[in-house]
A and B are shown apart, each in its own frame.
Chain A
Amino acid sequence: MARVVVDVMLKPEILDPQGQAVQRALPRLGFDGIADVRQGKRFELEVEGPVDQAALDRIHKMAETFLANTVIEDFTVKVEA
């Protein structure tokens, strides 16, 4: 079965206080040099059948209507080898 990965990230202009909280915690833990952190979601989809253009179109539609809220989030679709 092929795996397709959908990554969902808050749009750049949207404030991400969770990412900021992670970034602020890093120096305390001894991890220096990280200027910014943004937190997102990763969906790993195990696809039945071939991952052809039709399947990718369906996954795109799925990401657009459900996995991401395009009012506040961007997404990318990647086929994993």
Chain B
Amino acid sequence: MTTRIGVVTFPGTLDDRDSLRAIRLAGAEPVSLWHRDKDLHQVDAVVLAGGFSYGDYLRAGAISRFSPVMETIIEQARGGMPVLGICNGFQILTEAHLLPGAMLRNNHLHFICRDQKLRVENAETAWTGDYTAGQEISIPLKNVDGRYTADERTLDELEAEGRVAFRYVVDGDAADGAGNPNGSLRDIAGISNAGGNIVGLMPHPEHAVEPLVGTGRTDGIPFFTSVLKKLVNA
């Protein structure tokens, strides 16, 4: 049986197509999910893709979080279904309180779009198993609300439990994609829940899956092969 991975389209989602494509390239069956449909159509995992759902009105992710499809996703994610939130998807996951903390306007107030260097801090989540801990990757980053914030106690807890999944690589040449791009606390680029099935990050792995397009790098593909392997072996 093929593994089915869903991608949600909200009004204003931009990266659903690229996410569906990345899933197909990784060898799973991509399934389009609609924000008003509670039914997840027997998918084994879900990707919340990037974009500007509901125009980022009120706060990024604040309105999408209450959509019908999210009711089912929140329930199933709590039950262990793998969920990956990319960019706006990460913002939705924090607004839904599936991941702790919140996302704020970049400290320099500019929209940023560049290739960003990240270090994989935890290679044991459902979405990072095909990386090795400490590995450095480079994938596109494009947002204006990317500054990760949480209180000190939450940050300490995330660190202690190994739930900082990705950190911005700060040492090195900015032209090379190094540096904290938005003022995120402790250089956090992505985190996971305690179970490791829910992961959210600001940079975009789905834009770095084929040598022919984009940056020419395929550093993003392990996200999708990791979850596939995890689901097949489950």
Contact = CB atoms under 8 A, between A and B. Distances in A.
Interface of A: 14-15, 17-18, 21, 66-67, 69, 71-72
A18 B102 contact: no
Given A14-B149, A15-B183, A69 B95 contact: yes
Nearest to A10: B104
What's the dominant secondary structure at chain B's contact region? loop
Nearest to B109: A17
Interface of B: 58-59, 62, 66, 94-95, 100-102, 104-109, 147, 149-150, 183
Contact of B62 (A15, A18, A21, A69): A69
Contacts of A15: 104, 107, 147, 183
A69 B62 CA distance: 8
A17 B105 contact: yes
A14 B104 contact: yes
Contacts of A66: 58, 62, 66
A21 B105 CA distance: 12
Contacts of A71: 94, 100-102, 149-150
